[in-house]
Structure 1
Amino acid sequence: MTSIPVKPGRYKIHAHIIGPTSLVTATEYAVKHGAPVITDRLNPLPIEQEWVIDYPEAGQEPEPASPYVIHLAYHNAAGLVVTEDKLWVNGVPRTEWAKFTFEPVIGGVKILSDKGLSLRAGHRGAQIVLTTPQPEFQETWTLEYVGPIVTE
């Protein structure tokens, strides 16, 4: 399938799993490779649930099918990384952040790593894993645009 462009900005990333709204969330405690990234209920504090989707190099001009990086909206140095086929957030240099593309699927988008693996939310509270893409709702996401990128 062909990747689609995404407007750089702040987003809430909704998981399509059964039950109340679940969002991609950074956990509070770092272990091993950073803080595990999970899906969790809507939290009134957006600090761990709003993400910036941006080009790998700040200020980069968009190109068709270009990859994106994702980091915590209010922690500009805390980007998503992939280790052991699991999703983590860690304060490593931007050049080490994982790159993602987005493909349209029924009901939302599929988020794919630069290795072609799909983000999958097994259930609420489980760490997000990367797997060979399948046509399953656990690999379908909705991007809710919240606003422009906030620079400090």
Structure 2
Amino acid sequence: MPDLQLSDGRYIIGAHIGFRIVLTSTQHTVELGAPVIAAPELIPPIPQEWRIKRADQSLPGQYFITPLYNPKGSLVYANDVLWTNDVAPASWVIKPTPSGMHIVSDKGLALRAEPIGAQVRLAPEDNSPNEAWSLHFLGPIIGDEEND
């Protein structure tokens, strides 16, 4: 698998299911954390900005993905749906495909955007457009040495 060598920093993660639809951590915690949905981009996109950081230099393509506004939070999954929660971060594989980037869990399940506004699901990779994502680099994280 090719290593993308992504720069650590602030990103917006765009879903390929509609114009300006992006990965969004909701503000209200329920059940296992705050649900993560695919929603239209907000202005400003504060709950839609993510911190992506390489998990380990020896693990190609593996990154931690955390909400920018809550660096102690982590992108996690349970019952095949996506949440953010204040737990130890899990690494995600980000890999290129012909349709866009795939974001894959430690169990080989890909993030899949369902209908706009629905919680993002995890499913076995099948290269559907619902599994394609774009990474929009906004810039480095400034003054965040405690989380490096």
Query: TM-score of the superposition, structure 1-length normalised?
Result: 0.86
2:73 is aligned, of 68, 74, 78, to 78
Percent of aligned pairs with the same residue? 38
Which has more strand, going by share of residues?
2
Instruction: Tell me which residue corresponds to 2:117.
Output: 125
Instruction: Tell me which residue corresponds to 2:60.
Output: 65
Instruction: Tell me which residue corresponds to 1:145.
Output: 137
Q: CA deviation at 1:129?
A: 0.8
Please tell me whether the aligned partners of residues 10 and 140 of structure 2 are also in contact (alpha carbons under 8 angstroms).
yes
User: Unaligned stretches of 5+ in structure 2?
Assistant: none
Q: CA deviation at 1:10?
A: 0.6
* Aligned counterparts of 2:127 and 2:115: Cα–Cα separation in 1: 17
Query: TM-score of the superposition, structure 2-length normalised?
Result: 0.89
User: Unaligned stretches of 5+ in structure 1?
Assistant: none
- Residues 76-133 of structure 1: CA deviation (Å, up to 9, x unaligned): 11211111111101122xxx32210111112421111111110000111111111000
Q: Pairwise CA RMSD of aligned residues?
A: 1.7
- Of stretches 96-105 and 23-32 in structure 1, the one that deviates more from structure 2 is 96-105
Confirm or deny that 1:103 pairs with 2:95: yes
* Aligned counterparts of 2:30 and 2:143: Cα–Cα separation in 1: 28
Confirm or deny that 1:36 pairs with 2:35: yes
Please tell me whether the aligned partners of residues 40 and 124 of structure 1 are also in contact (alpha carbons under 8 angstroms).
yes
